[in-house]
Amino acid sequence: MTTCGRERHPTDYLTVDPITVKLSRFGVKLSSDAGIASLIDDLGRAMSGADDLIMMGGGNPGHIDAVHRLLKEKLAALAADDTRFRELINIYDPSQGHIRFNEHCARLLRREYGWDVGPENICLTNGSQTAFFMLLNMFGGRYPDGTMKKIRFPLAPEYIGYADLGIDDDLFISTRPHIEYLEDRQFKYRVDFDGLDIGEETGAICLSRPTNPTGNVVTDIELRRLHGLAEEHDIPLIIDSAYGLPFPHIVYTEASVFWDERIIICLSLSKLGLPAVRTGIVIASRHIIKSLAAMNAVISLAPGSFGALLVEELVQNGDIIELGKKVVKPFYLEKANKTLACVHKELRGIPYRVHRPEGAMFLWVWFENMPISSLELYHRLKRRGVLIVSGHYFFVGLSEPWQHSQECIRVTYSQDDDEIARGLRVIGSEVRALYDAAGATTS
């Protein structure tokens, strides 16, 4: 059993001084050195001020004044309404989530997009990560007939948070992308459909859109082709839209969204500016939603009410979509452009490329033929007070080693502009020194 380069054994021990506790395979798998655990620890310490670090690694949303003012108003109104406040703190929701919120959400999707959905097609979860733990293990792993199914990522790299979610080992298969070289030192990953072999072992196709970590937006044509493959093989297509459509709409390129009972769309309130409320929203067929609700009941009894009640009015009147389009998206687009300009300035003379930023809140930087691995670069930068994420974590499920996976880093541009500029200056000086020491040719 391996993950992120570390071999794990079911006989591993958890040491809690002065006691050594022997763990089950499940305990070992979920408590060992996972990339997402390291990322969240770095993120939490940096954002809390526990460490004096420039945070360029996590996906914590930025501070948008207009969003914060609106949410403070909604929170004050919620606290002032005795009936709704009692709902918030003193009543369990059903395991499918807050009833009114689900009804409002279904009406919104019918009205805005013409989707044939009702509240029976919507389930809330305690964050998208929880939703994906349930979904990926629902369709991947050992089936009652003894067969083993896997989750197919049609485009590597993919989200670091998926990598350790599988209860069974080797749950994921990824396909290398085509790399399209673009002007201005940019590139774009595209789905290699010729290499995308959807066999009987595939239990579901899954992708994030926009892609975390690269900011890539799979095109409408690519998405339709993936939907066709899902139909052909009678499997679901899972779309992680935590940064995307219908909300929070952090998408800078032309893209549309569609749904039918073959598709599972996962939304979140986090990137609207509510990461702490842990609210995931799953839109799927009635059968899948019924299974998710049952899992909610087993794992956590019911999802929390805070997120649903806080944004209920925004969903009811459709303002949640307008908030994404008119406030959230422009905020991140401006920051993406500023950060990209800073990258070109600080990395001048270094053989680098940047994935074309099409959405989300990250830049994906590729240092071609870098003398050290991206993980070693992460450690060097951390010692200099800058946190990034090593790209190797995002290439889970590839069948063969790929040097490219050791040459990329993810940096976030969601935080303070001056901090981002300082961080990029440190990254540039560190990487330039590496190439100079190796005698590598710069361009």
Q: How far apart are CA 443 and CA 438, in angstroms?
A: 15
Give the pLDDT score at 51. 59
Tokens of 107: 């009406």
Q: Is 316 helix (H, G, I), strand (E, B) or coil?
A: helix
In this prediction, residue 49 has a pLDDT band, given cuts at 50, 70 and 90, of low
Q: What is the mean pLDDT of residues 163-175?
A: 92
Tokens of 178: 């085509």
Q: Give yes or no for a contact between 235 and 204, defined as CB atoms under 8 angstroms apart.
A: yes
User: Is pLDDT at 186 greater than 80 in this prediction?
Assistant: yes
- Give the closest residue to 347 by CA, choosing from 432, 259, 234, 253: 432
Q: How far apart are CA 98 and CA 150, in angstroms?
A: 32
pLDDT digits (tens, 9 = 90+) for 393-432: 999 999 899 999 999 999 999 999 999 999 999 999 999 9
Residue 201 exposure: Cα atoms within 13 Å on the Cβ side: 11
Give long-range contacts, CB 8 A cutoff, 24+ apart: 382-386: 382/42, 382/53, 384/426, 384/430, 385/52, 385/53, 385/54, 385/426, 386/53, 386/54, 386/56, 386/423, 386/426, 386/427
- For the chain, the straight-line distance linking the first and the last C-alpha, in angstroms and rounded, comes to 41
Neighbours of 126 (CB within 10 A): 19
Q: Which of 51-65, 98-112, 270-284, 320-334 has the lowest mean pLDDT?
A: 51-65
- Mean pLDDT score across all residues of the chain: 91
Strands, E assignment, 328-380: 352-355, 362-367
User: Is pLDDT at 8 greater than 70 in this prediction?
Assistant: no
pLDDT digits (tens, 9 = 90+) for 369-389: 999 999 999 999 999 999 999
Q: How far apart are CA 203 and CA 139, in angstroms?
A: 5
Give the pLDDT score at 37. 56
Q: Give yes or no for a contact between 229 and 257, defined as CB atoms under 8 angstroms apart.
A: no
pLDDT digits (tens, 9 = 90+) for 84-96: 999 999 999 999 9
Give the pLDDT score at 318. 96
In this prediction, residue 289 has a pLDDT band, given cuts at 50, 70 and 90, of very high
Displacement of CA 300 from its chain's centroid (Å): 22
- Give the closest residue to 267 by CA, choosing from 241, 286, 249: 241
What H or E segment, with its residue span, contains residue 433?
helix 417-438
Residue 308 one-letter amino acid: A
Q: What is the DSSP letter of 359?
A: B
Q: Is 124 helix (H, G, I), strand (E, B) or coil?
A: strand
What are the chain's domains? 2-65+324-436 (3.90.1150.10), 91-320 (3.40.640.10)
Q: Give yes or no for a contact between 151 and 172, defined as CB atoms under 8 angstroms apart.
A: yes
Provide the residue count of the chain: 443
Q: In a 10 Å sphere around its CB, with 0-12 CB exposed, 13-18 middle and 19+ buried, how is residue 40 labelled?
A: middle
Q: How far apart are CA 402 and CA 105, in angstroms?
A: 42
Q: What is the mean pLDDT of residues 234-249?
A: 97
Tokens of 206: 């899954």
Which residues are within 8 A (CB) of 290 and not within 5 positions of it... i.e. 6 or more apart?
A: none
Kindly state the percentage of the chain with pLDDT values over 90.
Answer: 84
Residue 381 one-letter amino acid: L
User: Is pLDDT at 7 greater than 70 in this prediction?
Assistant: no
Q: What is the mean pLDDT of residues 200-208?
A: 97
Kindly state the percentage of the chain with pLDDT values over 70.
Answer: 90
